[in-house]
Amino acid sequence: MKKVAIIGVGNVGAHIASAAINKNLAAEFLLVDQNQEFETAQVLDLCDSLLFSHNSRVSSADFGDKKVREADIFVITAGAKQNPGETRIDLLAKNREILQSIKKSLGEIKKTAIVILVTNPVDILTTITAEIFGLPQNQVFGSGTLLDTARLRWRLARKFDKNIANVHGYVLGEHGDSEFVAWSTVNGSEVLSAEEKEKIATRVREEAYDIIAGKGATYFGIGAAAAEIISVILNNSEKVLPVSTVLNGEYGVQGIALGVPAKIGENGVEEVLEINLNEEEKEKLQNSAKKLKKLL
């Protein structure tokens, strides 16, 4: 049975664990947080849902535990979250330090481990994590624009009055303010006016700000999205998801992680797909890259 360590079990970490448990994944979940009292309470609360999901195992763990170092998948959600009005980029310095301290506390981990970054700003942190963790780049990736794509698809499903499974399309680039809807990938987008497209793209981009203003954090969507990534890895499904992965020349971008469609399997990112984007979309992707590289 594979071991999945979730580092940071606040709003996001706990909802990822909950969504993964409810997916009945054949894995043991180890929950690690610097606040041990809080961690124990989260684990107890999650264990109360086990009867209804049958086979998932959840336990509290410490950084020093051998079973944590031997985890097959690390999901990192530890770190500062946005306060109302803050951007994801505002968290960079703080969360980079937290990431470094996590690796120090973990010590040696399996050479085959997969690390999924969720902590923001997720693209810049993904770019530096492979080096911090001493792992090959394909084994380290971020949740990227998967959540933004989910936000796009439910809005399109509602607009077109279709089942969400039957509407397709991607949000690409930064998981943040320079992200964009790649309309050339959206089926049926030709019936939408420029104003309608702009309205949908703006709502998708600003949704996190609205949720944070209303209740302090976002967690149901990312919980389900990260549980899907874990499931795809554990089942080696080779599903294409828009995750944040370091680009090596694809789309004319080098050395920075961005949300692009990638085939995900048991080794992490099995392949970055270079889909046909139009010139305007390529330029937007390159603008995301320029912005993030400057900050890096």
Q: Does 36 bind ligand NAD (CB under 6 A)?
A: no
Query: Taking Cα atoms as reference points, which of 123, 117, 115, 116 lies closest to residue 88?
Result: 123
Q: How many residues lie near ligand NAD (CB under 6 A)?
A: 32
The count of other CB atoms within 10 Å of the CB of residue 247 is 21
Stretch that binds ligand NAD, among 4-12, 22-30, 227-235, 283-291 (CB under 6 A): 4-12
Residues 6+ apart with CB under 8 A from 112: 72, 139
| 175 has catalytic annotation | yes
H/E stretch holding 206 reads: helix 194-215
Whether residue 121 has a cis bond before it, omega within 30° of 0? yes
H/E stretch holding 179 reads: none
What is the C-alpha to C-alpha distance for residues 64 and 154, in angstroms, rounded to an integer?
Answer: 41
Using CB under 6 A as the binding rule, the residues of this chain from 228 to 287 that contact ligand NAD are none
What is the C-alpha to C-alpha distance for residues 106 and 112, in angstroms, rounded to an integer?
Answer: 15
Q: Does 143 bind ligand NAD (CB under 6 A)?
A: yes
When binding is defined by CB under 6 A, the residue of 24, 35, 202, 267 that contacts ligand NAD is 35
Q: Does 129 bind ligand NAD (CB under 6 A)?
A: no
Q: Does 7 bind ligand NAD (CB under 6 A)?
A: yes
The HSE-up count of residue 107 (CA atoms within 13 Å, CB side) is 9
Using CB under 6 A as the binding rule, the residues of this chain from 174 to 233 that contact ligand NAD are 175, 217-218, 222
Q: Does 127 bind ligand NAD (CB under 6 A)?
A: no
Q: Does 288 bind ligand NAD (CB under 6 A)?
A: no
| CB-nearer residue toward ligand NAD: 74 or 189 | 74
Q: Strand, helix or coil at 42? A: helix
* Binding interface with ligand NAD (CB under 6 A): 7-13, 33-35, 38, 77-82, 91, 95, 98, 101-102, 118-120, 122, 143, 147, 175, 217-218, 222
Q: So which residues are the catalytic ones?
A: 175
